[in-house]
Amino acid sequence: MQIKKELQEYIENNIFPIYQKNDSGHGIDHIKYVIKRSIKFAKQFDNIDLDMIYVIASFHDLAHHIDKDNHEVLSGKLFYENEVMKEFFTDEQRQIIKEAIEDHRASLKHEPRSNYGKIISSADRNTDLVSALKRTHAYTIKHYPDLDLDGMINRAYMHISKKFGIDGYAKTYCYDKEFEEFKTNVADLIKNKYGFALKYMEVNRIMDIKEKAKMFAIQAHMGQVRKSEPDKPMIMHPIGVGQLLESFGYDDNVVAAGYLHDVVEDTKYTIEDIEKEFGKDIANLVMGASEPDKSLSWEERKKHTIEETRKLPLRNKLVICADKINNLEDLFLKFEKSGQRDFNAFKRGEESQKWYYTSIYESLISGEDKDLPIFLKLKDILDKVFYKKENLFLRDTIFVDNQDYYAKLRKLHAQKIELQRLKSLVTLPKPFVIEFTGTPRTGKTTIINNLYDFFKKGGFEVSLIEEFTTSKYYKEELRSKFDSMSYSDRDLAIFEEIYKQLQNAVLTKKDLILIDRSLNDRQIWNYRRLVRGDMPEDLYLNAREKYSKLSKQLIDFLVVTSADSLTSLRRDYNSSLALENRSFLNEANLGEYNESLQALKELFVESVDSVVSLDTSRMSMNDVSIEIASQVLPVMRKKYIKAFQQKHNLK
């Protein structure tokens, strides 16, 4: 049976040209591939109309450029509304064709509704590994243009694994030997992420020696952790070294050697492995940064390194210099965070370490321009760690009468610097969200402003969301409308607005979102209404469960501040010139608020990953801010480390 000539001519002249708008993975080459396979698979079924098969395959991705996430439905609609197609097929045939187009997508949960749907769904499966990697890359660069190479590789790895892995969602409803062989090839490829990355870069002609080196180092150091900070993967150090060298603009081989500099020293791989994989130049750079036989004593090894470093060419010295900078910065931050100069993690004490690092610095600058920016950076951190260099203006002038406060700020600053370094390695999947709630006049606004300033000055992208019910938008746009509603309807409407506001904020590319009274604050209002008898218990419990689940999805940290009623009132009067009675701030109202906070403690723990409740009655506002920041920063640190582990699929 042949496809009607008039039908084929119409499709080729009027439908195929539209595929120029799609990405190459869903372009005309893919359509012709699916047409060929569809006609082949049609032979496995009885009473199949090839004209229908041809049209289904020709239309199935037509709307991909319009809406990739809903393209199967839109493509079916484009076919069904096509007037010319009505001349070729009956209404019953058109309905079958439309449903088959809608059913072709591999990720759909339901089985195709007809044999036509099973044929197109099977024909749409990839059977060629190179093609699959190319299609994935084409899709990624069009729809995720902001991803760097590392991000593209990770996305491709996850996509290929989920779709075509052993338990992948892509299925076939026809006998397809090619597809089974393809899945076997995929299973072999995804066993090793480094091998996958190489294949992906090779196929898509984006091979990058720096990225290749980083991927190799990640696999080589898999499972290793930093000795001084066991919660951090070891690979963070080599990646930091490579990025530092790149930030100074050094050549690709030097940067690659930065990523690889610890591989020979700390993994199973030899310098011969490095030379075979990356060539003599990079192997030489790595060798220059590797110590001799570790069976020698610490002193012998260090003396040998100091002498050999002095003789090395500048490019070798650059790798060594970046390594020492990264190590000393880690050490400095550890000292600053703890407030103690602890060298117990090292084989030798402070004086020996001071001798070694000072001697290495002198060997590095020997015969070189000591004013090179990378050498100046090493000298600066060397002086901070071993010669106690610090900002004397801050210590002796600004904080001369408040050294304890200065010491606390230094600890916070070190934690922030560590977060900056982690941020340079990985981006959080979503902004870190902190909600602030609690009794009025307990320092909430001061904390928010201080944290905003703290992170903003540290280079973090921060968004501040004001309290919704006191916002200009609420007062001018919504209040009159909401006031006419019942308590229940108004509460729901306010919640929906707050939820929408937070959802929109989370979709931004911010690092941090500070929100004044959000989802958990609505829980307090609902509880107070329940206690007063203004809200039925069943409605309260339903709202409580709903708010808690949504909070868990969106909010990472909850700050709850309280104070005794009289303290809150004193703060209010002392911060204002007005002596008139307050309509809202009175002892009874504040007491009720505090009781609600106590009653909801367990709920708050369920609603966010981390919560801090702080009684600020006897605390200064500066101490309150320091206490909150000191609890927020370690949680953020864990988030960044977890995101790094997930990004690189670390075990």
Query: What is the DSSP annotation of 231-289?
Result: TSBTTHHHHHHHHHHHHTT--HHHHHHHHHTTHHHHSS--HHHHHHHH-HHHHHHHHHT
Region 258-269: mean pLDDT is 95
What value does the mean pLDDT take over residues 507-514? 94
Confidence of residue 45 (pLDDT cuts 50, 70, 90): very high
Per residue, what are the HEC states of 493-509? HHHHHHHHHHHHHHCCC
The answer on pLDDT for 59 being more than 70 is: yes
Cα 63 to its chain centre, rounded Å, is 30
**Catalytic one among 128, 178, 265, 534?**
265
Find out if CATH 3.60.15.10 is the number for domain 411-647: no
* Distance (Å, whole) CA 608 – CA 553: 8
Q: Is 478 helix (H, G, I), strand (E, B) or coil?
A: helix
Residue 368 DSSP label? S
Query: What is residue 333's predicted lDDT score, i.e. its pLDDT?
Result: 95
Q: Which residue has the higher pLDDT, 25 or 155?
A: 155
Query: Per residue in 32-42, pLDDT tens?
Result: 999 999 999 99
| Beta carbons of 610 and 558 less than 8 angstroms apart | yes
The whole-number average pLDDT for the span 572-580 is: 88
Residue pLDDT, tens place only, 526-560? 999 899 888 889 989 999 999 999 999 999 999 99
Task: Report the CATH architecture of 232-389.
Answer: Orthogonal Bundle (1.10)
Report, as an integer, the average pLDDT of 329-341.
92
Closest among 308, 312, 246, 250 to 285, alpha carbons compared: 312
| Interval 96-125: pLDDT, tens | 999 999 999 888 888 999 999 999 999 998
Type of residue found at 295: S
The alpha helices in 402-532, defined as continuous H runs, are 403-425, 444-456, 472-473, 479-483, 487-506, 519-532
pLDDT band, residue 650 (cuts 50/70/90):
confident
- Quote the tokens at residue 489: 């309807």
- What one-letter code names the amino acid at 222? M
Is the pLDDT at 475 greater than 60, yes or no? yes
What backbone torsions phi and psi does residue 233 show, to the nearest 5 degrees? Answer: -65, 145
Please classify residue 563 by burial: count the beta carbons closer than 10 Å to its beta carbon, then call 0-12 exposed, 13-18 middle and 19+ buried.
buried
Report phi then psi at 251, rounded to 5.
Answer: -65, 165
CA distance 178 to 170: 14
Q: Please compute the mean of the pLDDT values over residues 490-498 and round it to a whole number.
A: 85
- Mean pLDDT computed over every residue of the chain: 92
From 2.40.50.140, 1.10.3210.10, 3.50.50.60, 1.10.10.10, which CATH number describes the 5-124 domain?
1.10.3210.10
Contacts by residues 324-327 (CB-CB < 8 Å, ≥ 24 positions apart): 324/357, 324/360, 324/361, 324/364, 324/378, 325/244, 325/374, 325/377, 325/378, 325/381, 326/237, 326/240, 326/241, 326/244, 327/237
- CA–CA separation, 105 vs 255, rounded Å? 43
pLDDT digits (tens, 9 = 90+) for 344-380: 777 788 899 999 999 999 999 999 999 999 999 999 9
CA distance 235 to 215: 10
Q: How confident is the model at residue 401 (pLDDT cuts 50, 70, 90)?
A: very high
With 0-12 / 13-18 / 19 or more C-beta atoms within 10 angstroms meaning exposed / middle / buried, residue 163 is middle
What residues have CB less than 8 Å from 17, skipping those under 6 apart? none
How far apart CA 288 and CA 241 sit, in angstroms, is: 15
Tokens at residue 593, please? 């608020």
The DSSP string of 336-347 is: HHHTS---TTSS
Determine contact, residues 604/557, Cβ cutoff 8 Å. Answer: no
Element (H, E) at 633: helix 621-647
pLDDT band at 227 (very low <50, low <70, confident <90, very high): confident
Average pLDDT over every residue of 622-650: 94
Give the pLDDT score at 1: 54
Contact of 226 with 237, CB cutoff 8 Å: yes
CA distances from 425 to 49, 185, 198 (A): 56, 32, 21
pLDDT category of residue 317 using cuts at 50, 70 and 90: very high
Q: What is the pLDDT of residues 188-224, one digit of tens each?
A: 999 888 889 889 998 998 888 999 999 999 999 999 9
Residue 72 appears among annotated catalytic residues? no
- Same CATH fold assignment for domains 5-124 and 232-389: yes
Residue spans per domain, the chain: 5-124, 130-203, 232-389, 411-647
For the segment 58-76, the average pLDDT, to the nearest whole number, is 93
Q: Tell whether the model's pLDDT for residue 295 goes beyond 80.
A: no
Kindly compute the dihedral angle of the four CA atoms of residues 339, 343, 344, 350, in this order, to the nearest 10 degrees.
-140
**507, 553 contact by CB (below 8 A):** no
Closest CA relative to residue 165, chosen from 187, 185, 180: 187
Q: Is the pLDDT of residue 31 over 90?
A: yes
**477 pLDDT more than 60:** yes
81 catalytic residue (yes or no): no
- Active-site residue among 99, 208, 252, 266? 266
Exposed/middle/buried for residue 315 (C-beta within 10 Å: 0-12, 13-18, 19+): middle
**Percentage of the chain with pLDDT > 70?**
100
Residue 649: band (very low, low, confident or very high) from pLDDT cuts 50, 70, 90 = confident
Sign of the C-alpha dihedral computed for residues 65, 69, 72 and 77 taken in this order? negative
The answer to whether 48 touches 115, Cβ cutoff 8 Å, is yes
